[in-house]
Amino acid sequence: MDSKKVYIKTHGCQMNEYDSSKMLDLLKSKQNFEIAESEDEADLLILNTCSIREKAQEKVFHQIGRWKKFKTKKPDLKIAIGGCVASQEGEKIVKRAPAVDVVFGPQTLHKLPELYEEKIKTDRTQIDISFPKLEKFNFLPSAEDPGPSAFVSVMEGCNKYCSFCVVPHTRGHEVSRNVIDILNEVSVLADGGAREIYFLGQNVNNFKGAYKGESASLAKLIELTAKIQNIERIRFTTSHPYEFRDDLVEVYDKVPELVSHVHLPVQSGSDRILRLMRRRYSVERYLDLIDKIRSIRPEMSFSSDFIVGFPNETEKDFAATMQVVEEVKFDESFSFIYSPRPNTSASEMSDNVGIEEKKERLEILQSRLTELSFGYSRRMVGTIQNCLITASSKKDPSELQARTVNNRIVNFKPRDFKVGDFVNLLIRDAYSNSLRGEVVNAVL
């Protein structure tokens, strides 16, 4: 069979990146697809979409508009739309953009090869955005060449219904995978060269698996994973502060493979706004949790997500957010202007903060977050960091790129090292998006 070519464009979060890599694995193994170097040589164009904010959603229709033009030159070209916009909009996508051939959701991506085949056979547009619980994991092949750092999805969906968030509507309710299946997947990845495992879930710390007839939390899963040969680093994201239980805090004491960095989105520093957001924790509880983790691992760094300009957010609420930033001294964080999303309860509140006000707050917050983040980088200069080599440098292929524990990129001259090795690097310089290092032989 002649091989066809697929091009996938991914918007949004790490879960989407993971899903896209699984789509590729599937199409390669089931239908002999190869990866297209560019959009214009593809037989199948896939857009894995994100609907977390309005702008992300609008990008989808712009992209379809561009891709549609390729069909004039190549009438057999197919366009498939997956991810959260697909899940949210379903048939409406095809109504607005009839050039689309297949629409599938995050929970039906394993059906993509069949949907594509069916479209070719019948010439009828295929839409499947159902939520069959965890079924997809039984159909996904293992990654052939996972690279040194591999994502593993351990749970799907979310039932928190934070008032601003569309995720429970697009990805469905929380379902956790079986621990044995996850450990098997990790072992295969480790055999294929993975040294770092990145557990993914929308609300990953509420993972509720089963192991040897007993329930197993994320803490248990981390302990079991650390025992797998060659797995030397473990990360997980995204955590909700509400369910960050004591056993997970204690794992920082028990498992050295668990990195000293965690993404723990606070969203706002005002209790009043946190209540309106339905976040289920107070600022005090959030700060207590940070203290607890830091008392076990003083070197721990934290990153966060923030939303500014949530309905009813006053100057005073915003000042409270800035106060939390100063108390925690966050590392590399993300911040966004509130964006009303379909079906969410916040979208019914009157959005009474002016856009100029929102932009101003975002700028103040972001400039402080950037400053703090750069402060971390600067303080790393002169220290020796144990790093995992993840790729060749983008700018200079004679150099390699490695990642520190807090996930900073370090570029360096390789000597005898290669991708997948751990190396001790003396940090020489800090730039806004990366560090420069030099190989040292010191043992850490």
| Residues lying near ligand F3S in the complex (CB under 6 A) | 158, 160-162, 165, 167-168, 202-203, 240
If one counts every other C-beta atom within 10 angstroms of the C-beta of residue 126, the result is 22
Encoded one letter per residue, x for contact with ligand SAH by CB under 6 A and - for no contact, window 337-376 reads -xx-x-----------------------------------
Nearest to 261 by CA among 283, 233, 220: 233
Helices H / strands E in the chain, number of each: 14, 22
Q: Is 168 in the site for ligand SAH (CB under 6 A)?
A: no
Report the partner that residue 341 touches, choosing among ligand F3S, ligand SAH, none (CB closer than 5 to 8 A by kind): ligand SAH
Map the footprint of ligand SAH across residues 45-64, applying CB under 6 A: 52-53
Question: Both tokens of residue 138?
Answer: 């039984």
If one counts every other C-beta atom within 10 angstroms of the C-beta of residue 442, the result is 8
Alpha-carbon distance 106 to 13, whole Å?
12
Whichever of 83 and 437 has its CB closer to ligand SAH, that residue is 83
The DSSP-derived string for 196-223 is EEEEE-TTGGG--EEETTEEE-HHHHHH
Q: Is 289 in the site for ligand SAH (CB under 6 A)?
A: no
Map the footprint of ligand SAH across residues 185-224, applying CB under 6 A: 202-203
Map the footprint of ligand SAH across residues 132-161, applying CB under 6 A: none
Binding range to ligand SAH, per CB under 6 A, among 2-10, 61-69, 97-105, 333-341 = 333-341
Alpha-carbon distance 56 to 51, whole Å?
6
Find the helix or strand (DSSP H, E) in which 55 lies. helix 54-68
Whichever of 176 and 393 has its CB closer to ligand F3S, that residue is 176
Q: State which of residues 87, 238, 268, 301 lies at the interface with ligand SAH (CB under 6 A).
A: 238
Report the partner that residue 161 touches, choosing among ligand F3S, ligand SAH, none (CB closer than 5 to 8 A by kind): ligand F3S
Find the helix or strand (DSSP H, E) in which 369 lies. helix 355-380
Whichever of 131 and 236 has its CB closer to ligand SAH, that residue is 236
Binding range to ligand SAH, per CB under 6 A, among 96-104, 135-143, 249-257, 334-342 = 334-342
Q: Least distance to ligand F3S from the beta carbon of 277, Å?
A: 8
Site size with ligand SAH, rule: CB under 6 A: 17
Q: Which residues contact 431 (CB under 8 A, 6 or more apart)?
A: 377
Alpha-carbon distance 209 to 161, whole Å?
21
